[in-house]
Chains A and B, each alone.
Chain A
């Protein structure tokens, strides 16, 4: 299904203060793939994600969602199709109650009330937070906030799910539950993180980002076995692959 393609073609981006954030990043992600984007702090992960839904536009190069380039006039359509889950759920949950927040996207899409209601209920059920619907977001725990943020994006039925550090701030149980939840989403997933174990659990493919460009792109296990590559990108083998105390 070509309309679910996500393509980055030689992206260059420099922040207004002159800091170069992307220096020619390119990749192509097909429908249904689950891809981890890993890299040290400042490698350009978050900047890259913000290019995928038009929050930032590249200085040169282009992003293509489907076959066509992401141009300013396509941004509303792309934002409906590419669901973005931010690093800090507090940034994402701005409505008075969880239910209002989950309904925010569908209402903006102009769906009829019955459809909005159905989508909200389905998203709350899928993320297992039906009983939190009437609660204000500031009264939720970290794990609950994360689920609510995911529900708010799932309610828009995106073709592509983009997550920025989804496991940050979660306890082991919350993290495990999150992995289970994300596994059920069968469309394209793009996960930026430095939780390499999460990538190992969730993504068959990994893209290593280093100083704004793609250093490696391939099978997760192969990339994580390449210690010199990881070290040169200021990363380490995931704990579970470090043999002496891990699973493998």
Chain B
């Protein structure tokens, strides 16, 4: 139970943050969505051994999190949740790819470089996405996606998914509590019980979906979720988007750490 209840609190924390009113929160959501997408594209565009050139990109999530009052600890915990999957993706790289790659004066096995690169890209892009939701709000992100031309059914699904994830988690929490109260000495915990548990949850979800659909129809739903937000892409939004994208381009084209290194080397006696 506590784990599921914890997940609800966990999940709600980003929502709570998105309700605060820093200037960054008030910025047109489209500006933030487009900039974050450009950020992800820039980070993804590097070669597979890139590690050092990626580092300057950390500026974007760090700057946004500070301006939007998003605690780094909160981001860190969420990153840790997803980390095992990423480690699994890259885990074999060091074993399979032993080609030496030069790293300054050293030579490192290519697999380790690509593994580090995967981890770094993961941290950068996922933290940027988390910060985006925390400083914008999930439904504002959806509204922006809709206005940017993402197909309506997809936006509708995202919105409804977000809304009912809480209901689903609460439902699962109640069922888990009911089960644990009648579980003794490990009996009633194994695979068969879990199967029945998930089956019941699925059926309940199904029933719920049907009732929601009825209630949508009762209020004239015709397949389009009308969802209006007065959006204004003002000067601040233009400045924000173009400024960051220019910076991403610069980071992409100029190897900043190397440049910095050579400056330092030149300055050294």
Interface of A toward B, CB cutoff 8 Å = 50, 53, 55, 76, 79-80, 83-84, 86, 88, 90-92, 94-97, 100, 103-105, 107-109, 113, 134, 136-139, 152-153, 156
Q: What does DSSP make chain B's interface, helix, strand, loop or mixed?
A: helix
Q: Contacts A86-B211, A137-B163 given; indicate if A152 touches B220 (C-beta within 8 A).
A: no
Q: What does DSSP make chain A's interface, helix, strand, loop or mixed?
A: helix
The reply to whether A108 and B167 contact each other, CB–CB distance below 8 Å, is: no
Interface centre among A90, A96, A108 (most CB of B within 10 A): A96
The reply to whether B218 and A79 contact each other, CB–CB distance below 8 Å, is: yes
> Given the complex, which residues of B lie within 8 Å of A153, measured CB to CB?
219
The reply to whether A94 and B220 contact each other, CB–CB distance below 8 Å, is: no
The reply to whether A104 and B226 contact each other, CB–CB distance below 8 Å, is: yes
The reply to whether B218 and A53 contact each other, CB–CB distance below 8 Å, is: yes
Q: Contacts A53-B218, A94-B216 given; indicate if A107 touches B211 (C-beta within 8 A).
A: no
The reply to whether A113 and B228 contact each other, CB–CB distance below 8 Å, is: yes
The reply to whether B218 and A55 contact each other, CB–CB distance below 8 Å, is: yes
The reply to whether B215 and A86 contact each other, CB–CB distance below 8 Å, is: yes
The reply to whether B218 and A108 contact each other, CB–CB distance below 8 Å, is: no
* Chain B interface bracket (under 10, 10 to 19, 20 to 34, 35 or more): 20 to 34
Nearest chain B CB to A163 CB, angstrom units: 12
The answer, yes or no, to whether B139 is at the interface (CB within 8 Å) is: yes
The answer, yes or no, to whether B212 is at the interface (CB within 8 Å) is: yes
> Given the complex, which residues of B lie within 8 Å of A97, measured CB to CB?
139
Interface of B toward A, CB cutoff 8 Å = 12, 15, 19, 138-139, 142, 159-160, 162-164, 166-167, 208, 211-212, 214-222, 225-228
The reply to whether A84 and B218 contact each other, CB–CB distance below 8 Å, is: yes
> Given the complex, which residues of A lie within 8 Å of B226, measured CB to CB?
103-104, 107-108
Look across to chain B and name the residue whose beta carbon is closest to the beta carbon of A155.
B219
The reply to whether B15 and A84 contact each other, CB–CB distance below 8 Å, is: no
Which residue of B15, B215, B222, B228 contacts A94 across the interface (Cβ within 8 Å)?
Answer: B215
Q: Contacts A88-B211, A97-B139 given; indicate if A108 touches B219 (C-beta within 8 A).
A: yes
> Given the complex, which residues of A lie within 8 Å of B212, measured CB to CB?
91-92, 94
User: What is the bound-complex CA distance between A107 and B225, given in angstroms?
Assistant: 9
> Given the complex, which residues of B lie within 8 Å of A156, measured CB to CB?
219-220
